[in-house]
Homo-oligomer: A and B are copies of this chain.
Amino acid sequence: MGRLKVIISYDGTLFSGYQVQPGERTVQAEIERVLAIMHKEEKVKVTASGRTDARVHATGQTLHFDTPLAIPADKYRKALNVQLPRDIRVMSVEEVEHDFHARYSVTGKRYRYIWSCEPIQNPFRRHYTVETNGVKPDVVAMQKAAQAIIGTHDFSCFCASNTSVQDKVRTVTSLQFEWHGEELHMVIEGSGFLYNMVRIIAGTLWEVGIDRRTIENIALVVASEDRDKAGKTAPPQGLYLEKVFY
């Protein structure tokens, strides 16, 4: 029995999120379905670094599972891709030690959030960015405001209220804005993220960018530990889980 670490990329548009839900099309269910075929209908339990919500994308979601099949890693990757639907692709398969755990061994994650600021919405990007109807925010202000988020804080203000997690202290190690043509990217790295944390940060810093909230306000929001003081949760289709660090 070997343990495999698997990095996958998926277009979240047609999924009800990563995690199995009865009656819904999910990324996990598709992978477990293909693994069951490869293992003669034996169920293989797959563990991911964490969930992603409906319509959220991933370019570097990471999984592990145990398999008795003695297939070389790269052939394993190809065998999975042959059977998986085209909106999920296995980017790499690697044999790892038995103490590797896709969720518990995580030391950090990187997410990307993309706004499309083209004056006319681009039909080819509608599922992959959040459109701003041509509004171009003040990115210098957003970047300044982000300084109040970088560091170790209780991030209750940026956590969806319907979570059971007790300890809401996390460390954001970097938060950068980048223009790629007319698309604005927010790239955020940290030790871990609370439920909806990246989308609430994106929605709150966006309000700074369009002058609905001051730069100074962000430190107060963080200190408040109050979800209601932060901005709206930005839509899911702008979000990408880009890399999981171990």
Contact = CB atoms under 8 A, between A and B. Distances in A.
Interface of A: 9-11, 57, 81, 86-91, 120-124, 126, 128
Contacts of A86: 121, 123, 126
Given A9-B122, A11-B123, A81-B121, 14 more contacts: A9-B123, A11-B124, A11-B126, A57-B124, A86-B121, A86-B123, A87-B123, A87-B126, A88-B123, A89-B120, A89-B121, A90-B120, A91-B120, A124-B128
Nearest to A87: B123
Main secondary structure of the interface of A (DSSP, over half): mixed
Among all A-B residue pairs, the 10 with the closest Cβ atoms: A11-B123, A86-B126, A87-B123, A89-B123, A11-B124, A9-B123, A89-B121, A89-B120, A91-B120, A10-B123
A81 B134 CA distance: 14
A10 B124 CA distance: 8
A46 to B, nearest CB: 18
Contacts of A128: 124
A145 to B, nearest CB: 30
Give the copy number: 2
Nearest to A11: B123
A91 B89 CA distance: 33
Nearest to A78: B120
Nearest to A123: B11
Max count, chain B CB within 10 A of own CB: residue among A87, A90, A91, A123:
A123
A88 B11 CA distance: 21
A198 B70 CA distance: 46
14 contacts: A9-B124, A10-B123, A11-B123, A11-B124, A11-B126, A81-B120, A86-B123, A86-B126, A87-B123, A87-B126, A89-B122, A89-B123, A90-B120, A124-B128
A87 B128 CA distance: 13
A1 to B, nearest CB: 27
Contacts of A91: 120
Contacts of A88: 123
A86 B235 CA distance: 16
Contacts of A9: 122-124
